[in-house]
Structure 1
Amino acid sequence: MNWSVYIILCTDGSLYTGVTTDMSRRYQQHTQGKGAKYFYGRKPKELVFLENGHSKRTACQREAAIKKLPKLKKLELIDLAKPLEFK
């Protein structure tokens, strides 16, 4: 199965990192406040990073690595991905 790692910019300026096999479904869950406790008190604003082509194992490893980064490094990662078109 094809897994993706993603980062969502929230309305409060925070960044949420996660993994999924269906980005559309997962983003919809987040906008409805479902699926992750993180979104109980905040709303997603925009999908700002999407990295496809992972197995479940590599997606979870990449997610963990991104979550360990300081916010500035995450913003640099997002900026490097800007030319990508998210679908």
Structure 2
Amino acid sequence: METKNNHYFYVLECADTSLYAGYTNNLEKRVATHNAGKGAKYTKAHRPVKCVYYETFETKQEAMRAEYAFKQLQRNEKLKYIGGR
């Protein structure tokens, strides 16, 4: 049984200002993993990263749908989505 609101769609800003989006069920641990160079191939080469946006969802499927939809956007749309950062 899944715990409610324990699924995150998150957006990281990398050292070069590029954006990385992902899914996790433990946001703090996942960001630390990215910064340790073990989170993803992309972020390993673009450290350090900081979490600039996240949303919580009741199910993994909902969070992953949000991640997919975000990844389909153009950069300017992504920036508007996360609040103009």
Pick the TM interval, shorter chain: 0.7 to 0.9
Q: Is the 8 A contact 1:8 1:44 kept in 2?
A: no
TM-score (norm 2): 0.86
2: distance between equivalents of 1:45 and 1:36? 12
Report 1:2-81 matches (<5 A): 2-79=6-83
2: distance between equivalents of 1:29 and 1:23? 10
Percent identity (aligned): 36
- What letter is aligned with 2:41? K
CA drift at 1:41? 1.1
**After TM superposition, which residue ranges in structure 1, 4 or more long, deviate above 3 angstroms?**
none
TM-score (norm 1): 0.84
Structure 1, unpaired ranges of 5+: 83-87
Query: Aligned pair count?
Result: 81
